Structure 1
């Protein structure tokens, strides 16, 4: 892990101060982020293959994944329906729902990348040196590009503040996820700071898995990746079924992905009134993931 954990914030902050006016560069940055995520997840698979007692560690990853998934999900869903009750939104769309299975296939690609790294690591007759150092270097570059993406997402501070529902949903997700993380940490008998860090992924599976893997090793990284990916897959299935009756709950459960990956599903099944809420809540949560996760990592360092 980095000797100074907060040094990892530097590329994120530097990237956030860069404004892009060229659509071509927007596209290039988005492509670069996608490629770097695949590379780092492949390295995560390689790191998993180097673990001693791989079978028992995979069981630990599964245990962590489902414990956090149930604890965090239960806490989120206990509070989010209150927003629908107190601040109802008329969610209605005549558009046909998007084929969820096609979007789920995009998530499955990431699992295959991790699996490919794991398989290659098991097949190779020798250890690959400098995997951790290379991953850290790529992570810094990735955070720099993510900072640029967040700055150029098109949202101003005024737009965020004026959308009360989006802000309230984001705050509820943060608070209830932390409660779920604390509960899971006691169940699993792990440090509370580790549990709070795990609970601060908010659905951003790629970055959450990468940051946790860098901080605590491939077991935590794999568990965090699977936890947030499982959350997204459940959201893709649940949103079309529940968004008409519980729009704020559906948007909130999507977490950080409400501003990008699950947004087309939210728009097509919930209507245009749900879009600003989803973008604002997703943007806030996306911005908080690296900040909060690294903050809790530093507390436990």
Structure 2
């Protein structure tokens, strides 16, 4: 049952064994990871184009996206304010405005890449039988690079374990996302483990979409990508609104992106005290995305 999970998970583990001290190599790996994400997302678009009854499948993607997004976000926002009540956090006033439009543009680029792959597959008479195999091999390389990035992120195990706010926020996101995933699976009448796997993206839209697409096909992959992308876009708007009064809620809703993409928003609007909390909670969630998602995928198959 776990053989498929271990086969995919192995590159991540192997990558995590590498400690790099050369900055140039680290930067090259970071760039290569970004390029591979664009490549594999374009292949996801091609996979969508190869589907039979494409219009009906697009309706299913939209339906899955809406139900999961509402269930996951609702469950997160129902419990996160309790963390603010039990563990109040003092923040600092915002010092400058953020170019939210330019940050959101990065998310739009990824949508364009998927859409471009879809249009190419629809408009050009090309054989698409090779797409799934190519996606799997690129996924292995991508997971290997992600493992290296996680190992060289600069956080030690002690720093993670000693940050109470970060650990509690991550735990609440995991627990409430599982509840939301179960509710969405019940509403959509899909398998429980399918729902739990879909709930394990935590905002990492590129990897979540890739893993779900490889495991369950482009319908689940496309829906997972959009669910987590919507989380990030909503977080960009929500963080400046909530972080002064409910900082744990704002940081928690950002999910895995709190350690990278939404971190500048958190730092500028909430102050430096929020940065280690955001990094730790985001790191824990990022680390667990492939672990939990592949675990539930193995149980569903």
3-state SS in 1 of match to 2:201: coil
3-state SS in 2 of match to 1:4: helix
Q: Would the aligned equivalents of 2:93 and 2:271 in 1 still touch at CA under 8 Å?
A: yes
Q: What are the equivalent positions in structure 2 for 1:204-219 lying under 5 Å apart? A: 204-219=204-219
| Cα distance in 2 between the residues matched to 1:191 and 1:79 | 25
| Cα distance in 2 between the residues matched to 1:5 and 1:152 | 24
Which residue in the other structure is 1:187 paired with?
A: 187
Q: Would the aligned equivalents of 2:48 and 2:218 in 1 still touch at CA under 8 Å?
A: yes
Deviations 1:89-148 (A, max 9, x none): 111134213121111111000000000000000011232231100100000000000000
Which residue in the other structure is 1:139 paired with?
A: 139
Q: What are the equivalent positions in structure 2 for 1:7-86 lying under 5 Å apart? A: 7-86=7-86
3-state SS in 1 of match to 2:265: helix
Deviations 1:232-277 (A, max 9, x none): 0000011011111110000000000000000000000000000000
Structure 2 residue runs of 5 or longer lacking an equivalent are none
| TM-score normalised by length of structure 1 | 0.98
| Cα distance in 1 between the residues matched to 2:97 and 2:290 | 32
| More divergent stretch after superposition (227-236 vs 89-98) | 89-98
Which residue in the other structure is 1:92 paired with?
A: 92
3-state SS in 1 of match to 2:202: coil
| Cα distance in 1 between the residues matched to 2:146 and 2:229 | 19
Q: 2:267 matched to 1:267? A: yes
Q: What are the equivalent positions in structure 2 for 1:175-254 lying under 5 Å apart? A: 175-254=175-254
3-state SS in 1 of match to 2:41: helix
Deviating above 3 A after TM superposition, structure 1's stretches of 4 or more consecutive aligned residues are: none
Which residue in the other structure is 1:150 paired with?
A: 150
C-alpha displacement at 1:3, in angstroms? 6.7
C-alpha displacement at 1:227, in angstroms? 0.3
| Cα distance in 1 between the residues matched to 2:128 and 2:282 | 37
Q: Would the aligned equivalents of 2:47 and 2:128 in 1 still touch at CA under 8 Å?
A: no
| Cα distance in 1 between the residues matched to 2:44 and 2:128 | 12
Query: What is the aligned residue count?
Result: 300
Change (3 A) 1:94 1:183: closer
Q: Would the aligned equivalents of 1:232 and 1:254 in 2 still touch at CA under 8 Å?
A: yes
| Cα distance in 2 between the residues matched to 1:234 and 1:259 | 16
| TM-score normalised by length of structure 2 | 0.98
| Cα distance in 2 between the residues matched to 1:154 and 1:93 | 27
Deviations 1:187-216 (A, max 9, x none): 000000000000000000000000000000
